[in-house]
Structure 1
Amino acid sequence: MSKKANYSYVGISFIILLFGILFIPKIIDRISNKDINRNYESRSGSVLKNTEAPTSVDKLDYLVINGKRKKVPNFSFTDQNGNTITNNDYLGKVYIVEFFFTTCPTICPRMNRNLVDIQNTFKNETDFGVASFSIMPDTDTPEKLKEYAQNYGITNPDWHLMTGDKQDVYNLANIGFNIFVDVENFEHSGDFALVDKNGFLRSRKDNFGNPKIFYKGVISEQEKVDEDGNPQEISMLKEDIAKLLKE
């Protein structure tokens, strides 16, 4: 090997050594002081990848649409006991909203078993309730809803299973709560909405800063994930109910 080649290798080694002395301590210092963002971002600032699960927050966000906090609209339906229930009956209570029907053979039984689990978690809370709206109000009579409640072990006096005008149910779901419902084809979302004591829709934000809006209602805590790998959100919902109960 020529002397010229040896000089080149010595020069390269010196540069690498100098870089290590000057810059590595600075990089370590920046990491220690959390100056480096752990999320990968594009030049525009949008997150490209974030694999961390949504984190717990002390205060839940409001769902804001067109600059206004989304509030539960007025509604009036008949529950399993034949009583007229309106949105005013839920004021002062934290409650979950779902849309279902009693003869649903797929997601509804799973949703309502999860809701019974939540009911039992907060059995000593007088300010907690559930609003279940049937998307088959023509056949889900108060009598049938009461039988359904008994079969599932629904005991919370503020858990109302409601029936009423089909168009009113459709409007309440799709416009009032932004939850998909097709009453003609008996299709509906398996999501739950969470409402605070003042009638506002509440949720936490995901890692991208967007409100989650809804909670997955089909996957149980015991299942942990569904067949597609989506994690359960019942634990998250329980945490957020507890937070709203303290407000």
Structure 2
Amino acid sequence: MSKKTNYSYVGISFIVLLFGIYFVPIIIDRITNKDVVRDESRSEDINLNPKKRPGNLSDLHFIELNGVRKKVPEFSFIDQDGKTISNKDYEGKVYVLEFFFTTCPSICPKMNANMLSIQNSFSNEKNFGIASFSITPDIDTPEVLKAYASAHGITHDNWHLMTGNEDAIYKLANDGFYLYTAKDENADGGFEHSGNFALIDKNGFIRSRSDSQGSPIIYYNGIISEEEKVDEEGMEEQISMLKEDIAKLLKE
């Protein structure tokens, strides 16, 4: 890999909150050897102070916008088995969410190698799942996704590779999660997209642990493997902490 990293601002999402509070998630994609690595900045304007935690609620943050906990938007797509899968199919399950495409030559192989590691860590957990949304649905038909799943060792019953309406998928990525996705003829594979994973609890809320300053990381880096430990920029892997946090949510 190249020793130098070029920085490219490839997407900016703005949310205007009520009561004069503004949350601006600036999306910064780091391109390393033409690999897009997401590093969303975190605004302190989100109300992220943990509430009193009843019962077995873990120490993981709820992500709040104007005092409202952020939930997964409603979605409905077709998976690799030709079944219609919606957010309701994940109710009662802890799951990890990503956006990818099967012909991606850069970050997707790294992401799904890490996702496979997560799958294997929870292979016998019925209340765990993975949601992978293709950003090239015209190419990634259910048949293509089925072949991809078979070739890459995707075996968990609750790992759904989904395809469907392109506009709906892009809206889910960019507006629902602020996980940047866009067509770009100059990018490897013709697309730029986030390399981050979102963690969802059994009730559909987006959750995350905090950083060393006590602020939520919001998303987990899905590109750096546990074996790598750190990338050439010094960023530490987050797959091990994601596994720990999945286990926490499964106990809630």
- Same fold by TM-score greater than 0.5: yes
Q: Which AA in structure 1 matches 2:160? A: H
Distance (Å, rounded) in 1 between the aligned partners of 2:150 and 2:231: 28
The answer for the alignment partner of 1:13 in structure 2 is none
TM-score (norm: length of structure 1): 0.75
Q: Which AA in structure 2 matches 1:119? A: Q
Contact 1:166–1:183, Cα closer than 8 Å, also in 2: no
Contact 1:80–1:162, Cα closer than 8 Å, also in 2: yes
Q: Which runs of 4+ in 1 moved over 3 A?
A: none
Contact 2:221–2:238, Cα closer than 8 Å, also in 1: yes
Distance (Å, rounded) in 2 between the aligned partners of 1:114 and 1:75: 24
The answer for the alignment partner of 1:192 in structure 2 is 197
Deviations 1:192-230 (A, max 9, x none): 000000000000111222211000000100011112111
Q: Secondary structure at the match of 1:167?
A: helix
The answer for the alignment partner of 1:122 in structure 2 is 122
Contact 1:170–1:183, Cα closer than 8 Å, also in 2: no
**1:241 CA drift (Å):** 0.1
Contact 1:135–1:183, Cα closer than 8 Å, also in 2: no
Number of residues paired by the alignment? 192
Q: CA RMSD in A?
A: 1.5
Q: Secondary structure at the match of 1:119?
A: helix
Distance (Å, rounded) in 2 between the aligned partners of 1:91 and 1:181: 25
Higher helix share: 1
Distance (Å, rounded) in 1 between the aligned partners of 2:229 and 2:68: 35
**1:58 CA drift (Å):** 4.8
Q: Does 1:74 align with 2:79?
A: no
The answer for the alignment partner of 1:240 in structure 2 is 245
Distance (Å, rounded) in 2 between the aligned partners of 1:133 and 1:183: 15
Deviations 1:7-59 (A, max 9, x none): xxxxxxxxxxxxxxxxxxxxxxxxxxxxxxxxxxxxxxx9xxxxxxxxxx951
Higher strand share: 2
Distance (Å, rounded) in 1 between the aligned partners of 2:139 and 2:150: 18
Distance (Å, rounded) in 1 between the aligned partners of 2:147 and 2:183: 22
Distance (Å, rounded) in 2 between the aligned partners of 1:228 and 1:144: 35
Distance (Å, rounded) in 1 between the aligned partners of 2:151 and 2:212: 39
Distance (Å, rounded) in 2 between the aligned partners of 1:176 and 1:87: 13
The answer for the alignment partner of 2:232 in structure 1 is 227
The answer for the alignment partner of 2:111 in structure 1 is 111
**1:179 CA drift (Å):** 0.9
- 5 Å matches for 1:82-97? 82-97=82-97
Query: Which segment is superposed worse, 214-223 or 170-179?
Result: 170-179
Distance (Å, rounded) in 1 between the aligned partners of 2:168 and 2:179: 14
**1:175 CA drift (Å):** 1.3
**1:183 CA drift (Å):** 4.2
**1:66 CA drift (Å):** 2.0
Query: Which segment is superposed worse, 231-240 or 183-192?
Result: 183-192
Q: Which AA in structure 2 matches 1:224? A: K
The answer for the alignment partner of 1:6 in structure 2 is none
Gaps (5+ residues) in structure 1? 1-45, 47-56
The answer for the alignment partner of 2:177 in structure 1 is 177
Distance (Å, rounded) in 1 between the aligned partners of 2:58 and 2:169: 33
Q: Secondary structure at the match of 1:239?
A: helix
Distance (Å, rounded) in 2 between the aligned partners of 1:209 and 1:223: 25
Q: Which AA in structure 2 matches 1:128? A: F
Distance (Å, rounded) in 1 between the aligned partners of 2:198 and 2:183: 19
Q: Which AA in structure 1 matches 2:155? A: T
The answer for the alignment partner of 1:60 in structure 2 is 60
Contact 1:73–1:172, Cα closer than 8 Å, also in 2: yes
Instruction: Return the match for 2:206 from 201, 204, 220.
Output: 201
Q: Secondary structure at the match of 2:143?
A: helix
Gaps (5+ residues) in structure 2? 1-43, 45-56, 185-189
